[in-house]
Amino acid sequence: EERTFVMAKPDAVQRGLIGEIVSRLEDRGLKLVGGKFMQIDDELAREHYAEHVDKPFFDGLTSFITSGPVFAMVWEGEDAIRQVRQMMGATDPAEAAPGTIRGDYALDLGRNVIHGSDHEDPGSNEREIDLFFDPDELIDYERIDEGWLYE
């Protein structure tokens, strides 16, 4: 099964939305295989968002993502990267459909509550998982509902 890296950003933590984000992904049938409550330092922030290093918003982005604790997760399931991106909604919450996480919980591009690996950037999931988790922090197990989630 495919794995994707997901993060409740500092605004989600401060606003008490960790549980809501976890619940939505669980309810969908995705399987949590890793989770870590942590503080991102500047070095990790710059590496995680390296693709944006030349953008005008880069400094604001790294200072935001290091501004408080985050909840980093790895979720597994069929087509997990794309499924999570769909549930997240558009990057700019103003464009995100109601019913999506950003469409329901965010208003501002720079405070969009959730990160998920990019399905348009192949390998970004593996790279992000490696960056945030040691292999022994990810757990292989079966959920009892798997036979009812997949044909």
Nearer to ligand GTP, 32 or 109 (CB): 109
Please identify which residue in 79, 94, 110, 146 interacts with ligand GTP, judged by CB under 6 A.
110
Please identify which residue in 4, 66, 83, 112 interacts with ligand GTP, judged by CB under 6 A.
112
Is 9 flagged in the annotation as binding? yes
Q: Does 61 bind ligand GTP (CB under 6 A)?
A: yes
Nearest CA-CA partner of 36 in 72, 65, 66: 72
For 33, phi then psi, to 5°, come to -115, -5
- Which H or E run includes 62? helix 58-65
Q: Does 87 bind ligand GTP (CB under 6 A)?
A: no
Q: Does 91 bind ligand GTP (CB under 6 A)?
A: yes
Q: Which does 57 bind (CB under 5 to 8 A by kind): Mg ion, ligand GTP, none?
A: ligand GTP
Question: Is 115 annotated as catalytic?
Answer: yes
108 DSSP assignment:
B
Residues 4, 128: Cα–Cα separation, whole Å: 8
- Give me the amino acid identity at 5: F
In the region spanning residues 28 to 47, those forming contacts with ligand GTP, defined by CB under 6 A, are: none
Take residue 101 and report the two structure tokens written for it: 């996480």
**Alpha-carbon Rg of the chain, whole angstroms?**
15
Please identify which residue in 105, 116, 125, 132 interacts with ligand GTP, judged by CB under 6 A.
116
Q: Which residues are catalytic?
A: 115
